[in-house]
Amino acid sequence: MNLIEQVKKTKEASLVLGTSTIEVRNKILENIAKSIEENKDKIIEENKKDIQQAEKDNLSKPLLKRLELNDKKINEIVEMVNGVINLEDPVNKILEVMDLDDNLELTKVTVPIGLIVAIFESRPDAAVQIASLCIKSGNGVILKPGKESINTCKLLVELIKESLEKENLSKDNVQLIETREEVNEILKLHEYIDLLIPRGSNKFVKFIQENSKIPVLGHADGICHVYVDKNADLDKAIKICFDAKCQYAAVCNAMETLLVHKDIAAKFLPLIKEKYDEAEVELKGDEETRKIIDIKEAIEQDWKTEYNDLILSIKIVDDAEEAINHINKYGSKHTDAIVTENKETANVFLSKVDSSSVLHNCSTRFADGFRYGKGAEVGISTSKIHGRGPLGLEGLVIYKYILKGDGDIVEDYSSGKKIFKHIKK
């Protein structure tokens, strides 16, 4: 089967899955959880093949760790699928009802987006997670896992396909592609594919964004800021700045640049430096900062850099306005925080900073689907179209309008014979 036929089949299958009941979709997920549990040994066996190959290819330790499945990890996958079962049905939600006139009722209702392609790195659990979220929301999905996990993912997708067929739904709803060439071809199929979800390095996401007309859910950069205002409570500021940088440095919602009001810099900077030194954070500062604490120099490029590591750039600003302008200029519209006891200053910051999440007196690390109470995170979007910020299942649905009449025609309204009532219900 060639790729375009495969894509068409998944699209066709998704139209059927998309109109199935939530009971059926949850039943499929139950089948998946059960069959992963039952096939634990087989999965670990296939995973060992991947591990052996990866060791031959000298994959780095952290990558090997992500790739490896053991008993505990498989239990976690099963638990995750059960978690998705417990989430509310995102489809068939009535968003609005309006009587355009007597017996002419307009309903706005959520429906699946359609056909989704997810391209991700070597974690095989991602394949199950994304497929589960897509099945729950009635979407077809084509998965392209990292080549390192291909044996494991092949088996997992096989189990998912069987789980679909047990409920009389097409196995084509979930497909696997394996090669980079297929990805390049996929990127051109904007006529059939509704949404791309790339997970991976900034460079990789940017490549996808630059090379396809298909809408992309995700973000390339996460250049997040904390601004410590002159009216900050310094204890809170220290706690927040430490958490935002050090709690987990390799993630998109970690702080990359610290902005400090000039009036409190002399007091605050030595205190936070002490904390950062304990965690061995490498600090870089602008000229004013370096008059107060002895650290390396930050250059223009630093303000545009997502370190994804225990490195932080620091800049002293004259006021909140300068902090806001710096963030809107150099940030990535992801997540930015202010620390201040002045509510007015906080509100100006929250309103003027043009980012998907803006925070007052808390750590940037909170910007995450689980912490935002979404149950499952599909991704964090810095796009300003469709979904923005951490996205749960709501990121995998759109809506349609349903209008029910009784022989109604527009001519009656154009001619003035009838008049619209437009009553919201």
Per-residue tokens: 231? 């009216």
Q: Which of the ranges 15-23, 144-152, 166-174, 199-207 carries the binding residues for a copy of itself, by CB under 8 A?
A: 15-23
Query: Does 104 engage in binding with a copy of itself (CB under 8 A)?
Result: yes
Q: Give the SS3 label for residue 24.
A: helix
Residue in 10, 173, 257, 357 binding a copy of itself, rule: CB under 8 A: 357
Distance, CA of 6 to CA of 204 (rounded, Å):
24
Residue 317 CA to residue 384 CA, distance in Å, equals 28
Looking at residues 107 to 146 of the shown chain, list those that interact with a copy of itself (rule: CB under 8 A). 111, 113-114
Which residue type does 387 have?
A: G
Gyration radius from the chain CA atoms: 25
Q: Exactly one of 17, 106, 183, 255 binds a copy of itself (CB under 8 A); which one?
A: 106
Task: Give the C-alpha separation, 289 to 297, whole Å.
Answer: 9
**Per rule CB under 8 A, is residue 22 in the interface with a copy of itself?**
no
Q: Segment 160-189, which members bind a copy of itself (CB under 8 A)? A: none
> Would you count residue 13 as binding a copy of itself (CB under 8 A)?
no
Residue of 78, 197, 359, 376 that binds a copy of itself (CB under 8 A): 359
- The residues in 193-212 that bind a copy of itself, with binding defined as CB under 8 A, are 194-195, 209-210
What is the SS3 string spanning 54-110?
Answer: HHHCCCCHHHHHHHCCCHHHHHHHHHHHHHHHHCCCCCCCEEEEEEEECCEEEEEEE
Chain positions 54 to 83 lying near a copy of itself, rule: CB under 8 A, are: none
Within 292-331, the residues that bind a copy of itself by CB under 8 A are 328
15 binds a copy of itself (CB under 8 A): yes
**DSSP labels, 115-134:** EEEEE--S-HHHHHHHHHHH
Query: Residue 392 interacts with a copy of itself (CB under 8 A)?
Result: no
Min separation Cβ 324 and a copy of itself, Å = 9
192 binds a copy of itself (CB under 8 A): no
Token look-up 């209008």 returns: 403
From the list 100, 264, 271, 310, which residue makes contact with a copy of itself (rule: CB under 8 A)? Answer: 100
Asked if 95 interacts with a copy of itself (CB under 8 A), we say no
Name the strands in the sheet holding 94-101, side by side, starting at the edge strand that comes first in the sequence: 104-112, 94-101, 423-424
Q: How many residues bind a copy of itself (CB under 8 A)?
A: 72
